[in-house]
Amino acid sequence: MNQIKIGIVCYPTFGGSGVVATELGKALAQEGHKVHFITYSQPSRLDFLNENLFYHEVSIRSYPLFEYPPYELALASKMVSVVKNEKLDLLHVHYAIPHASAAYMAKQILKSHGINIPVVTTLHGTDITLVGKDASYEPVVTFSINQSDGVTAVSEDLRKETYLHFKITNEIQVIPNFIDLEKFKKQKKDHFKKAICPNGEMLIVHTSNFRKVKRIGDVIKVFNNIHKEIPAKLLMIGDGPERATAEEQCRELNISQDVRFLGKLEAVEEVLSVADLFLMPSEKESFGLAALEAMACEVPVISSNTGGIPELNINGVTGFMSNIGDVEDMTKKSLIVLDKNNLPKFKENALKRAQEFDISRILPLYEAYYQKVMERASSRISV
C-alpha cells in the first residue's frame, strides 16, 4: 500500500499499551511508512535506528501556578506542531486517557488551520476497565472515543466491556495484540537454565507490574503447591506495589531459596526461552500480552479464565484456565502440564498458537484500517 505518515501517541513505559504501540510503529517503519512517536520520553522499546522512525518529545514546563503540570495541553500542542510540520496523514493514539482527549483538542485546533487529521484510538484495557469507569473521567472517555474517526480494541472482551459501561456510538473494531516472533524465537540459553536449575528442576515464570489485579499472592501459592510435589524454581519478573508482600510470603512459606525476584527486564525472552510454565492468575486481563510472549517461547500457560485470556489461551491445548483464585485447580493443572510425558506437546501447541498473532499477520489489519479511516474522513470533507 502507499506510504502513510503516522503520528503514534503512547505511554513510553514497560506497560502493554506502550510495548504494543512501539512494536507497531517499528513494524510500520520497516514496511516503508513514516512513523512519528509523540510522547514525554523515548519509548523503552524504541531501540533501533530506521530512516522512517522519528521521535518528538513533549516537554512539560513547571509553573508555580500549577500544582500538576498540564501534560494534556502540552501534548495537544505538540500534536498540532508535528501534524503541521511533518504533514501527517493520521494520528494513532494508544490508551484513551489522556491521549484521545488531547487528540480531539489537537484536531479542533488543526481544523482552524484548514487541516483535517483523522484520529484512530486504540483501547488497551485499564483505560476502560479501571480508569475510564471512574466517574471523574467517564464523560471525557466517552466523548473522546465517540469523537475518534476510528476505534480499535485489543480483544473481543474489551470491545464488549466498552459498549457495556459507556454510551459509545462509534463502531469498535477488534485488532488483537501481536508479537514479533523473530524476536521471541527460542534460543535456549542452557547455561542460564543450568545456573537457575542446577539439578534439572522445572522452571516456572511470572511477569507483570505486580499490582493487586495480577494476584501475585496466587502465583506464590500455586508455586508453593507445585514445589511440594516436584523440584521447581520460580522467577518473578517485574516490579510494583505487591512485590514486598510477595517476598514476605515466600519467607513465611520457607521457599525463598527457590524463588528469585529479578525486577524489570528488557529482554524477557531470554528468561522465557528456558522456562517450562508461565503463571497468569490475574483478576482481569484485556488480552494477556505477557502470556502471548511466553507462548512465543514455547511456554505453556496456566491462567485465570477472565477478560480476553480465553481468546488467547486454549484450555487443555496451550495450557489450562481456572476460575479466579482457584489455587488448587491451578496447581493440579500445572502438574499435568509439567508431567514430562505431556510437556513437549503443550510447548508445541503454545508456539503454534503464538504464530497466529505474529506481527506479519496483524500489521496488514492495521494498514487496512488506516486506509478505511482516511478514506472515510476524506469523503466527509468532499461532501
CATH number of 181-355: 3.40.50.2000
pLDDT mean over 68-84: 90
pLDDT mean over 349-368: 96
- C-alpha cell recorded at residue 111: 481544523
Query: Are 5-178+359-382 and 181-355 the same fold in CATH?
Result: yes
Residues 274-310 as b or e (16 or more Cβ within 10 Å = b)? bbbbbbbbbebbbbbbbbbbbbbbbbbbbbbebbbbb
Query: Strand ranges (DSSP E) for 63-209?
Result: 90-94, 119-123, 150-153, 172-174, 202-208
Tell me which residue of 251, 177, 259 sits closest to 226, measured CA to CA: 259
Task: Supply the pLDDT for residue 383.
Answer: 43
The single residue listed with the C-alpha cell 491521549 is 99
Is the pLDDT reported for residue 296 higher than 70? yes
Task: Supply the pLDDT for residue 47.
Answer: 65
Task: Supply the pLDDT for residue 186.
Answer: 61
Task: Supply the pLDDT for residue 115.
Answer: 94
- C-alpha cell recorded at residue 233: 524454581
Task: Supply the pLDDT for residue 170.
Answer: 93
Task: Supply the pLDDT for residue 48.
Answer: 64
Task: Supply the pLDDT for residue 69.
Answer: 72
**Which of 45-49, 95-99, 139-143, 146-150 is the most confident on average?**
146-150
Residues 5-178+359-382: name the CATH superfamily: Glycogen Phosphorylase B; (3.40.50.2000)
What is the rounded distance in angstroms from the CA atom of residue 374 to the CA atom of residue 366? 12
Q: What is the pTM of this model?
A: 0.90
The single residue listed with the C-alpha cell 503514534 is 8
pLDDT digits (tens, 9 = 90+) for 100-145: 999 999 999 999 999 999 999 999 887 676 654 667 778 888 999 9
Task: Supply the pLDDT for residue 95.
Answer: 82
What is the rounded distance in angstroms from the CA atom of residue 151 to the CA atom of residue 134? 21
Task: Supply the pLDDT for residue 64.
Answer: 73
DSSP secondary-structure letter at 208?
E
pLDDT digits (tens, 9 = 90+) for 169-192: 999 999 999 998 988 776 666 677
Task: Supply the pLDDT for residue 208.
Answer: 92
- Domain positions in the chain: 5-178+359-382, 181-355
Is the pLDDT reported for residue 149 higher than 90? yes
pLDDT mean over 203-221: 96
Q: What are phi and psi of 319, to 5 degrees?
A: 155, -145
The mean pLDDT of the chain is: 90
Is the pLDDT reported for residue 27 higher than 70? yes
